[in-house]
Structure 1
Amino acid sequence: MMKQGKLLITGGRGKTGARIAERLDVLEYPYKTTIRNPQAITDPLKEVHFDWYDDSTFLPALHHVERVYLVAPVGDPEPVKVMKPFIEIALKQGVKRFVLLSSASISEEGPVFGPVHQLLKKLAPEWTVLRPSYFMQNFTEGQHAATIARQDLIISAAGQGKIGFVSAEDIAEVALRALMDEEAHNTEHIITGPDSLSYDDVSRIISEVTGRNVVHKSISDDELTRSWLAIGLSKEYAEFMTELDRKIREERSEDLSTDTVIRVSGKTPVSFLQFTKKHAGVWSSIGSDHKI
């Protein structure tokens, strides 16, 4: 077992970071999570102020740290610009292992997370890149939650393209192993749920479980880009997000089903039907929470 504070979770209140922290609590495994707003810190023993865009927060966050879970800053089309200095400082401070949250849609040669993936392979003694498919939690905590609650709609530009939707808990289990295993993984893990589903399939499952008439509306790429801009994304990042849907629709980029969860964690991945039955009550209340 590691000494206090030897594992740092960036994005500590996001979908995966919070779940990793919960599992570490159960295992009584010491860690620190990062909080961007210092006023929001409630447990100074487990939370530390950190901001990707304020390098004065880097060293304090890295105090006595040997392993780091990396979540890129949300909405930044070139996160390597701020992550590279942090990774270099972390290496100088003795950090040995890095686990990066990336995306199944984005290879190491791809945009956004790709350059960070390449950087870790080049510089880090021990590394893992997690490449999960789309989160099931997007329907309960993310961008689809409010449209389901208010309009019985799921909106995308993915058409009939299929996606290996995966639970954030399952991603966290793989991350946990990558962080804690004695032997470094030194590889990428493409992480999916057990089924590859279209948004129409998802709508049908939610409808059958909840009794609501939820439908999927596939919109144009331009419409989707405008919707991303409307919630405050930059033009470059909005176009990047739309391109992901186009690839799902036209190139089957997320039509995946891997054995990663059970192979790495030993746990059977949650199906979307199981997820929907567990969270059916969520769609009876209006609201959304855009966590990563």
Structure 2
Amino acid sequence: MITIKILVTGASGNVGSYVVNELLKFNEKVKVAGTNIKKLDVKFGNKVDSVYFDFTDRTTFKEALDGVDRVFLMRPPHLGKPKDLYPFIDEIKAHNIKLVSFLSLMGVESNTIPPHHKIEKYIEKLEIPYSHVRPGFFMQNLSGIHCVEIKEKNEIFIPAGKSKTSFIDAADIGSSIAILLHNPGKYKNTAHTITGPEALDYFEVAEILSKITGRKIKYTKPGFLKYRNYYIKKRGLDKTYVNITVALYFMTRMGTAKKITNSFYELTGRKPHTFEEFVKNNINDFV
């Protein structure tokens, strides 16, 4: 008897790990894919099947999709070109997958700048059953890549100006995606914009962080050039990745990140975490 599984790409990352754990709560059989099998085995143990997978190596596609009927698709941050994912999406089409849930981005249906837009369109063009998830900015951006400046300098170094953002916890994103993959027939050919319950500017974010950490944390509101130079030259991050974040923060200044939706509640029946709850739950990331 063949056991049907759900393939989770990016399983060792913020969202992917939550997707896996939520799917296991539904008693789904899960296959996790990545280039570091040891890391996946340490993270999930024998609760899942692990398979070596690389978006840039077509020879890894067949084994990754063997015995799979649903896929969580996440673009690795270092692959900035939509075409980098097309060969694997072609392979998904060839396997007659019931549903692919792609981790997209809020507002990409009308914003052609981020690579997510073309990836969505390519999935739809191939007529693969899909359920796009379009979250707002992750709260984990602050506890992850941006926590260095928060911890070492007591400052938020992000070029978002005075714009507001409806941050969402990656744990909530994972819950949403798991529900979609668990119910492929119900959510076939749908798109879901999921956000947190409030839109905050980074001055308000700094106030919340200050209150909970007990330190005075400031939002320095850098310009795009200063931010780009710092993250490439000082932090040593990949230029393509930094350029994408600059584009996203440019769009944020245009008001694209402040929308608040009820989609998370409609999917899960509960309210999404507030940023204050997130900071309290992840306080060690900020101190």
TM-score (norm 1): 0.89
Q: Is the 8 A contact 1:97 1:124 kept in 2?
A: no
Change (3 A) 1:65 1:276: same
Query: Match for residue 77 of structure 1?
Result: 80
Question: What is the aligned counterpart of 2:176 among 174, 186, 189?
Answer: 174
Separation of aligned partners in 2, 1:105 and 1:216: 25
Q: Alignment partner of 2:272: what SS?
A: coil
Q: Is the 8 A contact 1:8 1:32 kept in 2?
A: yes
Letter in 1 for 2:276: L
Letter in 2 for 1:36: T
**Map 1:104-123 → 2, pairs under 5 A:** 104-107=106-109, 110=112, 111-123=114-126
**Map 1:1-292 → 2, pairs under 5 A:** 4-42=3-41, 43=45, 45-78=48-81, 80-107=82-109, 110=112, 111-140=114-143, 142-181=144-183, 182-230=185-233, 231-249=235-253, 251-284=254-287
Structure 1 residue ranges without an equivalent (≥5): 285-292
Q: Alignment partner of 2:220: what SS?
A: strand
Deviation of residue 209 (structure 1)? 1.6
Q: Is the 8 A contact 1:195 1:257 kept in 2?
A: yes
Give me the CA root mean square deviation.
Answer: 2.0
Separation of aligned partners in 1, 2:50 and 2:245: 31
Deviation of residue 26 (structure 1)? 2.5
1:171-198 CA distances to partner (integer Å, 9 max, x unpaired)? Answer: 1111112111142341221111000001
More displaced 10-residue stretch of structure 1: 100-109 or 82-91: 100-109
TM-score (norm 2): 0.91
Change (3 A) 1:203 1:49: same
Separation of aligned partners in 2, 1:131 and 1:157: 22
Query: Match for residue 290 of structure 1?
Result: none
Q: Matched residues, percent identical? A: 28
More displaced 10-residue stretch of structure 1: 233-242 or 56-65: 233-242
Q: Alignment partner of 1:99: what SS?
A: strand
Letter in 2 for 1:157: P
More displaced 10-residue stretch of structure 1: 62-71 or 226-235: 226-235
Change (3 A) 1:145 1:74: same
Change (3 A) 1:93 1:232: farther
More displaced 10-residue stretch of structure 1: 182-191 or 28-37: 182-191
Change (3 A) 1:3 1:189: farther
Change (3 A) 1:7 1:268: same
Deviation of residue 94 (structure 1)? 2.6
Deviation of residue 69 (structure 1)? 0.3
Structure 2 residue ranges without an equivalent (≥5): none
Separation of aligned partners in 2, 1:259 and 1:185: 19
Deviation of residue 23 (structure 1)? 1.4
Deviation of residue 41 (structure 1)? 4.7
